[in-house]
Structure 1
């Protein structure tokens, strides 16, 4: 017997027992829901304090509204249960209300647990400093585009998790709790890329691409670039969202974004595979496209060696015959594809390309070398350089790691020290 089909013609003793049990059930779920009012049920006070005020305060206010709406729903169910003790005809409605409250409880719990885990990933002073830095860098990456498009800034909450690739829950999308809209961009950073966080800009690129209408425009540009080959059009156009995010990361961090990407996709088991429905380009092509971006923007450079290493390590004859033919044809079209990606109009920018706001020349090896010479050793310790050139510092560290393999360990450690320095001493 379900709570939505409670008979009202049962013996009086049975109906009374059902009414009592409904009141007991709702008391249990209300008591459990009341613990949600304390944010420290999900993350420590220290962790909440580590979240910047422009992120933590609106997020906690938003979560508080969700919880209070849940409690109001529970109190309404309790009133129905109490009424059912006096009037058995109310039992079915009370039963339905309690079932709905149970389901809403679970949805709210998932929402709170997600943000609690995200905030609680700031488990040490070093991690708190690194994730606070990433919050700031992600906002800085989006602000110029949003400002030019006349759109408000978007707060960011970064968090640490396991896995190979980063991800984002975009600001403005519906959360698990019905009617709840995400007030922040929640970006997952994985451990192996925490101190080489070019993936941060891939994820912030997803946010920007979504709200500026860039993805449909890029899809059309890819279609035009591949107009002579329908099969390639059908392959490349569904990848537009991920390619837009790759472009955004490249414009901010240059070659560093390509080496970091290759470290993610360079798995011998998958780099030449094309899973059905995967929105990401084939790893091999994704890397080739990144190298093509570098050639288009910077000319010759270390990306040519990276491409040669990949081609040698993963010969195309290992790919499925169909994939191999498409990859070979794509390779011949890559220059045009790269140009289409970098020049695709962005509707929210009045049809200008993303490069009109984020100039890739700023992260060319020569420009990053000039930054390094101008700032000298202060680049890695000065609050001024951290505040004004934080994104280019990430690009520089990644460039040096990629182009100087013998010194890569030293550059990785330098980036880690810079990322984990307390903001006041950075």
Structure 2
């Protein structure tokens, strides 16, 4: 048999097999079972389904075009050309599967008992934390899922997924070990801060300002270079502290409580600050935004847990220089202005008045851990109140876990009922219009 006919026949069968497997991929709405309260936010669900449907539709068209070419002009093409075109399509097919699997991982956990509803509640918290800064307009949908390991992560909306397509939603990975307590909000809002900083284009403008300070810093220039290198993570921590207060710093301390080697290890190219420094930065940001002795107390406690005196003299000097530079850096950070901030300083774009420690404790006394009352408040504010109460030892870890679990269920249920009500209202409006 002619080698062109043989290769063409082989590749045609492979291409038809791709179509067959592609047709077996069902929409996520038909793929998983879950209680309504555990479902993705309506906009996220719609955007994701459209995104995946479009990908499958385009790929199906590409496979059919390839088959038509293979049966027509491609019959006389070289086996190498036939294979080259097929490989490109198969790579696209694998990218589509990777995208589907990514969102399937998010949706699958929604079927787990309790976990699914908790995740839906965290979706609500994430959405509220993003718009804690009122300059965020038309925020993208955010969806959460749990994973092993101590670290959280985010795939921001409109960033590239496998295959180069832009993600229709922000996907936030939460450490499973953080469920359920105030610390979950610290990890979640830090990742939300990455999305918020990207929407406001804060990292480039901050790096530019920090470079200007470094140029004038003389012997302190290496410290300012650290701030430049770490700013993408520091701004996310700033967002978290500005939104959650002490709840953010306590949650961070739990994440970076590691063996000494890791706490003091140089970060190298890692954009995360050295863990020892990161906690001190969080305390300094908190004190800048919400002046209170609690921040100095937390910093002293952290230093006692990881004494620098046990390090070699050169490392002690390094950390002394970094720590001495923190106050000036934090003032620059909080006072940063950029075009996207519309003339305001960064600190002025967050609801700082209602996050002051005294105000949070007052709310804690007023609410009396009443789930019915607290569920009607803004979720990010509630986590700030609970974290402040925990810092003041006004609530036990056991009571805190039960309270937050109940609140996540309440927010998930309210979100589900609101979505159902909106659908019903829209249907009635369409009926009246017809």
| TM-score (ref. length: structure 2) | 0.86
In structure 2, the residue matched to 1:401 is 390
Pick aligned residue for 1:281 from 231, 251, 273: 273
Number of residue pairs matched by the alignment: 407
Write the distance in 2 (CA, Å) between the matches of 1:315 and 1:31: 62
Gaps spanning 5+ residues in structure 2: where?
416-434
In structure 2, the residue matched to 1:239 is 230
Is contact 1:127-1:420 (8 Å) kept? no
- Structure 1 stretches of at least 4 aligned residues deviating more than 6 Å after TM superposition: none
Kindly indicate whether residue 89 of structure 2 is the aligned counterpart of residue 101 of structure 1.
Answer: yes
Residues 309-339 of structure 1 deviation map (CA, whole Å, 9 limit, x = unaligned): 2212212144465543221112122222222
Is contact 2:267-2:273 (8 Å) kept? no
Q: Matched residue of 2:343: which SS? A: coil
Mapping for residues 181-196 of structure 1, pairs under 5 Å: 181-195=166-180, 196=182
Note closer, same or farther for the CA distance 1:309–1:362 as it changes in structure 2 (3 Å cut).
same
In structure 1, the residue matched to 2:151 is 165
In structure 2, the residue matched to 1:357 is 349
Write the distance in 2 (CA, Å) between the matches of 1:129 and 1:123: 9
In structure 1, the residue matched to 2:401 is 412
Pick aligned residue for 2:135 from 148, 152, 155: 148
Two-structure CA RMSD over aligned residues (Å): 2.5
Write the distance in 1 (CA, Å) between the matches of 2:202 and 2:148: 30
Is contact 2:355-2:384 (8 Å) kept? yes
Q: Note the C-alpha offset of 1:32.
A: 1.4
In structure 2, the residue matched to 1:119 is 107
Write the distance in 1 (CA, Å) between the matches of 2:243 and 2:315: 31
Mapping for residues 174-185 of structure 1, pairs under 5 Å: 174-178=160-164, 180-185=165-170
Is contact 2:22-2:56 (8 Å) kept? yes
Q: Matched residue of 2:252: which SS? A: helix
Write the distance in 2 (CA, Å) between the matches of 1:335 and 1:422: 38
| TM-score (ref. length: structure 1) | 0.87
In structure 2, the residue matched to 1:293 is 285
Gaps spanning 5+ residues in structure 1: where?
1-11
Q: Matched residue of 1:76: which SS? A: helix
Write the distance in 2 (CA, Å) between the matches of 1:32 and 1:175: 21
In structure 2, the residue matched to 1:7 is none
Note closer, same or farther for the CA distance 1:140–1:37 as it changes in structure 2 (3 Å cut).
same
Higher RCO, 1 or 2 (CA under 8 Å, sep at least 6)?
2
Is contact 2:283-2:296 (8 Å) kept? yes
Mapping for residues 24-423 of structure 1, pairs under 5 Å: 24-39=13-28, 43-46=31-34, 50-83=39-72, 87-89=75-77, 91-143=79-131, 145=133, 148=135, 151-178=137-164, 180-195=165-180, 196=182, 197-223=185-211, 227-228=217-218, 229-268=220-259, 269-319=261-311, 322-378=314-370, 380-382=371-373, 385-404=374-393, 407-421=396-410, 423=412
Q: Note the C-alpha offset of 1:273.
A: 0.9
